[in-house]
Amino acid sequence: MKSLRTRLLIAFVVLCGVTAAVVAGVTYVRARTVLLEKAQVAAVEAFTEKVARMTELNADLLSDRFSAAVILHRGRAVQGGLDPSAVSPELRARVASGEVSWQRVVVGGRAGLVMGMRVSDVEFYSARTMDDEQRDIRELALVAWLAAGCSMVVAVLLALLAARSVLRPVRELREAARRLGEGDLTTRVAVRGSDELAGVAATFNTTAEALERQVADARRFVADVSHELRTPLAAMTAVTDVLDEEAEHLPGDAGTAARLVAQETRNLTRLVDDLMEISRFDSGAAALAPDEVDVAAAATATLRLRGWSDVVTDLHPVTAVVDPRRLDVVVANLVANALRHGGPPVTLTVRGERGQVVVEVADRGPGLDPEVLPHVFDRFYKADSSRARSEGSGLGLAIAWENAVLHGGSLVAANRPGGGAVFTLRLPSGGGR
């Protein structure tokens, strides 16, 4: 498939080529005909005039520097330097009919005009060169080619210009569509003029606007639902905490059920908390509360608080300006994910690196499937689709990623060469944006 630019170029050049060929060609042919006919008529007139002025037969009167003549009396050449075989039999037949006749001939690339007439039993023939006319016609052809060539160059320039004016909005639209596809719903394109491309741009903007509104509505709905769930959940948690404490005193199935309800309520609470957290990110309400933090100490605190004692740590003291609450969330989510899905031992590394603080969480599990890798930070993404439910909310890694981005840092998932997954968090140590 050829590009739009190539197609425009071809169309322009062909169109211009055809036009130039027709115009230049017709002009050339017409001018050539006129030129030759004028020269022929003049030559024939001069020839008949010379014959009319002759009394005694004298071929010299018909010849000059550019022409040679022969006079035939009863078919025999009697005078003149022109070889009678230079006169074609067709021309002789024509002359025999009584008309003053002429024929253009080309011998060895040189054009000439052979004229003849017959009076009674005397035939006169004169041949003259058409070198001048030939040269003029060659010049004519040269001019025609030049004109055609110049118009071709102009056509190419015009085509490139036209292609640019068409392709620029197309390129902008493509770029905008790509950004929209990557999730930047605020993308709009400039609408220029009122042509079809401007119409497409306007439609694109309308669509993007509608999409943005719908997504915002959906997010607000989630935020509202989460918020509405919090109050009843708080009450439920209070009740299930009591139930949980009393579970061991309850007989058989009732105890199991109480524990189950308590556990599920805790899970639900975490899910709602995570949903609200992510809603804040989506609505842009998430704000940093930066503070100077010893990241190694903060990480140790996170592990201690969660009771994760079997995590291998390699902590170098690094100070960075980060939001301590969010750092805690990120580290906790990454370690929880490693403990849940990876294999032991889980390693937590903190180190400084040229203006960045690097937090690595690695495990020795099976690692991440290459197909899973690009979706690891997607919301509610299940690496193992057969496992319908996991202990996590399904939002942990997404929240960790959002937090990293909020800090102006990055969070990358990869597989370790020796097996197992590694999540690398990089935050600017000088504070976020």
Partner 1 sequence: MRALLRVAALLVAALPVVGCGVQPTEPIGGSPATGAVLYLVRDDTAVPVLRATGRPPTGAQALALLAGGPNAEEQAEGLSSRVPRTDVPITLDGTTITVPADVAALPDLAVTQIVCTSASPGPVTLTGGGHRRGPLTCPL
Q: Is 29 in the site for partner 1 (CB under 8 A)?
A: yes
Nearest CB to partner 1, comparing residues 135 and 220: 135
Q: Minimum distance between the CB of residue 182 and partner 1, rounded to whole angstroms?
A: 35
Q: Which stretch binds partner 1 (CB under 8 A): 40-48, 270-278, 283-291, 297-305?
A: 40-48
Q: Is 407 in the site for partner 1 (CB under 8 A)?
A: no
Beta bridge partners of 67: 64, 128
Nearby residues of 272 by Cβ (< 8 Å), 6 or more positions away:
226, 229, 230, 233
Closest CA to 295 of 310, 314, 281, 311: 314
Distance CA 176, CA 66 (A): 76
Nearest CB to partner 1, comparing residues 91 and 159: 91
Applying CB under 8 A, among 3, 4, 15, 378 the residue interacting with partner 1 is 15
CB 44 within 8 A of CB 102: yes
Q: How many CA atoms lie within 13 A of 150 on its CB side?
A: 7
Q: Is 31 in the site for partner 1 (CB under 8 A)?
A: no
In a 10 Å sphere around its CB, with 0-12 CB exposed, 13-18 middle and 19+ buried, how is residue 302 labelled?
Answer: buried
Q: Is the Cα torsion angle 189, 190, 195, 199 positive or negative in sign?
A: positive
Nearest CB to partner 1, comparing residues 98 and 199: 98
Print burial letters for 181-201: b (CB count within 10 Å at least 16), e (below 16): eeeebebbbebeeeeebeeeb
Q: Is 18 in the site for partner 1 (CB under 8 A)?
A: yes
Q: Minimum distance between the CB of residue 422 and partner 1, rounded to whole angstroms?
A: 54
Indicate the residue type of 310.
D
Size, binding site for partner 1 by CB under 8 A: 54
State the angle between helix axes of 295-306 and 324-341 in degrees (0 to 180), rounded to the nearest 10. Answer: 50
From residue 99 to residue 138, what is the string marking binding to partner 1 with x (rule CB under 8 A)? Answer: xxxxxxxx----x-----xxxxxx-------x--xx--xx
Cβ-based neighbour number of residue 5 at 10 Å: 15
From residue 344 to residue 373, what is the string marking binding to partner 1 with x (rule CB under 8 A)? Answer: ------------------------------
Q: Minimum distance between the CB of residue 52 and partner 1, rounded to whole angstroms?
A: 5
Indicate the residue type of 61.
L
Nearest CB to partner 1, comparing residues 118 and 407: 118
In a 10 Å sphere around its CB, with 0-12 CB exposed, 13-18 middle and 19+ buried, how is residue 377 labelled?
Answer: buried
Distance CA 26, CA 29 (A): 5
Nearest CB to partner 1, comparing residues 134 and 319: 134
Q: Minimum distance between the CB of residue 87 and partner 1, rounded to whole angstroms?
A: 10
Nearest CB to partner 1, comparing residues 11 and 153: 11
Q: Is 34 in the site for partner 1 (CB under 8 A)?
A: no
Nearest CB to partner 1, comparing residues 57 and 158: 57
Q: Minimum distance between the CB of residue 146 and partner 1, rounded to whole angstroms?
A: 15
The interface with partner 1 within residues 265-324 (CB under 8 A) comprises none
Closest CA to 123 of 82, 56, 70, 161: 70
CA angle, corner 176, sides to 174 and 181, nearest 5?
A: 95
Q: Is the Cα torsion angle 30, 33, 34, 35 positive or negative in sign?
A: positive
Q: Is 56 in the site for partner 1 (CB under 8 A)?
A: yes
Q: Minimum distance between the CB of residue 417 and partner 1, rounded to whole angstroms?
A: 54
Q: Minimum distance between the CB of residue 165 and partner 1, rounded to whole angstroms?
A: 20
Q: Is 4 in the site for partner 1 (CB under 8 A)?
A: no
Applying CB under 8 A, among 43, 68, 69, 91 the residue interacting with partner 1 is 91
Binding site for partner 1 (CB under 8 A): 7, 10-11, 14-15, 17-18, 21-22, 25, 29, 32, 36, 40, 44, 48, 51-57, 73-74, 88, 90-91, 93-95, 97-106, 111, 117-122, 130, 133-134, 137-138, 141
